[in-house]
Amino acid sequence: MDRIRLIGGNELNGEIPISGAKNAALPLMIASLLSDEPLVLQNVPRLADVKQLERILENHGVDIAVHGRRRGELDVVGQRMTFHAADIVDTTAPYELVSKMRASFWVIGPLLARCHEARVSLPGGCAIGTRPVDLFLFGLKALGAEIDIDDGYVVAKAPKGGLVGAHIVFPKVSVGATHTLLMAATLARGTTIIENAAQEPEITNVAECLVAMGAKISGIGTRTLTIEGVDKLHGATVDVIPDRIETGTFAMATAMTGGNVLLKGARPEHLQSALDILTQTGVELTVEPEGLRVYRNGNGIQPVNIETDPFPGFPTDLQAQFMALMTMSSGTSHIRETIFENRYMHVAELARFGADITVDGQLATVHGKPQLKGAQVMATDLRASVSLVIAGLAAKGETIVNRIYHLDRGFEGLEEKLSRCGAEIERLAG
């Protein structure tokens, strides 16, 4: 199994191109199931999760083509891919495929909308909490679906004539359920209103893709989405938005190590809450025509308290990275995780660097130290694994990060991007 080796202490200086967002690319790929015409996606990141979803979609009968690089394009430019679901040959998403990635469960919405039936395994993914699918099923039932659970599979059938529009009020915000119900409602008969919908930029990216395919959606970017069902969707060409979590991750890496980095293609408006917090730590942020510049000179890192919240709040997917940053702050900070109940598994690994962190339920207290020491650490999930890389970049001496397959799920070319900016980092083949 591959590992990453780092020698900490180098400032980061240069440019880092921001890849397409994993959390947008995956539902955009799934949206291809809604039409028998081709959907072309540009700026698709090269990730293990993308490859896994390709296998799942191909199992349903989707033809997938990866287009070659255009003249003059750099190797860091995302892929251009075509997804053509001319015929759905199988409405079952099997356990051996779905169990590896939670987002693959979202195929249930398009399959049910277009084929009026779906049999999808209960999902897998990172072990950061239970993350049940009750809100998905609640919404699909509201659209008229008949739902049964059979041997670990959700078996869903639409009534004769297909799904029917409904007024759905989510009891809590769910990105996955919003994606799924939004896609399903596009082909439902009548009007669907989704209240307390997620507002993440990735939701907007998918909604705008659906509109480009012929869907009728209003309220995009708000807590209330209104969808007028149509009989058929057509093909479209859509860009995957830049990854705001990657943007925040590299911004925090620069803040922790010092230096001056331009995050090319970054969209600051997609993570303004996190950037406001970073500014409070003493980091200088400047929006430029090409992206976001992050700069920290020799000044210390100031402690700041945060609480994770759905967008536009501080993203839970940046909590582990921010905790790594706070381990070297000049005081005590408090981090409250409100989204997932088991997202502090990185605490024990950060402690191996000498970090001083205590956890009491949802609240983590971080007592900053002037210096961390390199260590052997183990990645436990996608975002936790990159927090260990950030810590290793700033720690004195050698760090080895084990089980880095988690990183390959969500970060494209991580070692290359960091090494171009002066980090001493390499992948060790397992």
Catalytic residues: 126
DSSP 267: -
Tell which residue, 54, 57, 187, has the closest CA to residue 109.
187
Task: Dig out the tokens for 146 from the structure.
Answer: 């008949």
Q: What 3-state DSSP class applies to 127?
A: coil
Angstrom distance (rounded) from CA 209 to CA 217:
11
Q: Is the peptide bond before 312 cis (omega within 30 degrees of 0)?
A: yes
**315 assigned binding-site residue:** no
**104 assigned binding-site residue:** no
**232 assigned binding-site residue:** no
Task: Dig out the tokens for 348 from the structure.
Answer: 């024990």
DSSP string of 301-350? BPP--EEB-STTSB-GGGHHHHHHHHTTBSSEEEEE--S-TT--THHHHH
**174 assigned binding-site residue:** yes
DSSP string of 350-368? HHTTT-EEEEETTEEEEE-
H or E segment to which residue 15 belongs: strand 12-17
**377 assigned binding-site residue:** no
Tell which residue, 122, 20, 107, has the closest CA to residue 56.
107
**32 assigned binding-site residue:** no
On the 0-12 / 13-18 / 19+ scale of CB atoms within 10 A, 269 is exposed
Angstrom distance (rounded) from CA 300 to CA 241:
33
**132 assigned binding-site residue:** yes
**120 assigned binding-site residue:** no
**98 assigned binding-site residue:** no
**30 assigned binding-site residue:** no
**287 assigned binding-site residue:** no
**133 assigned binding-site residue:** yes
Positions at the binding site:
22-23, 102, 131-135, 172-175, 317, 339
Positions at the binding site for phosphoenolpyruvate:
22-23
Positions at the binding site for UDP-N-acetyl-alpha-D-glucosamine:
102, 131-135, 172-175, 317, 339
